[in-house]
Structure 1
Amino acid sequence: MRRKLIAVLMMSVLATGCQETITGTALPDSAAIGSSSPTTTAAEGPVPLAKLSGIWTGTYTCAQGETELTLTIDPAVSGAARAVFAFGPTTKNPDVPIGSYEMTAQYVDRILEITQQRWIEQPSGYVMVDLLANAVSANSLSGIVDDSGCTTFKITRDRS
């Protein structure tokens, strides 16, 4: 009988709730979002986006191996710039096909995020990747290629 009474009481509590109203401000669960501070967008990074327009060349590494990268960044408009990511073979990796796609470049938390938009020329089996430049200077950009199977990139400004 006692077990039956406890079961009925528990079912009653579960069905009706505790009926207590709690007031205050909801806070995010830090375990769910990690211990980092909230993401905010910064207007500029170490080098103003307006000063990064031009042609940049170098390499990046993904599953296909070292790959040539030419990044053309247009002049910035309203905190963002259009860019074209063109890739192809290197002397160490001559079998990489040629391809290109449009991107958008903007600073987020002082990291230059260069994100994929749409293909211009897509080789079979290739996907677009994003770039996160955490080392930005007037003459070089380097950082992480943001896709599984990829590692880093490093490009320098063309002087021609």
Structure 2
Amino acid sequence: MQRGYAPFLYFVAVLGLEAAMQKECRIIEALQNKLTYQQRLQYMKHYFPINYTMNVQFEEVLRVANITRLRDQSVGELSLRYLWLSVNSQVLLKIWAVLPEKHPSWEYTRDLCYLFEQLTEEYENYNQGNMDANVWDVVEQLVSSDAGSSRKAVYPKALLDNCVKVMLMLYSESCK
């Protein structure tokens, strides 16, 4: 009798994973539509003062090279996506925090924060036990806003450019 349930349970599990991935891909597609080059240029460069930079933690500058290095260390794809989500959620909150409510980029940044919040809900069951140690250390450092962490002055547009490049790298295969 139990043998008959195994294929059924497997089928239900696969359907559940597929549905979750479809929702994640819809959010990623919405992010891609919101993070076009023209919008990043307009909202994160043209609407900011000339040469405006933000001081962020060194770990908040997440580049494709960082992801490649972590992949070479056999860090799982889900851990890399969680790292990308954590880093860029923090970055967007910092950008949004410096904008007055009447700033032309305020609503754009708020919309991005909302999309990242939706994506975070998809990952809410993901915890330390499922995450690679390298990734967990970085996420902990970001969340604690460690004052001992080195800081770096970065343009807001550059932060979102990195966000888009890493997003395309992590999701291009699973969300076509």
Give the alignment's TM-score, normalised by structure 2. 0.22
Give the alignment's TM-score, normalised by structure 1. 0.23
Which has the greater radius of gyration?
Answer: 1
More strand by share: 1
More helix by share: 2
Question: Taking CA–CA contacts closer than 8 Å with sequence separation of 6 or more, which of the two structures ends up with the larger relative contact order?
Answer: 2
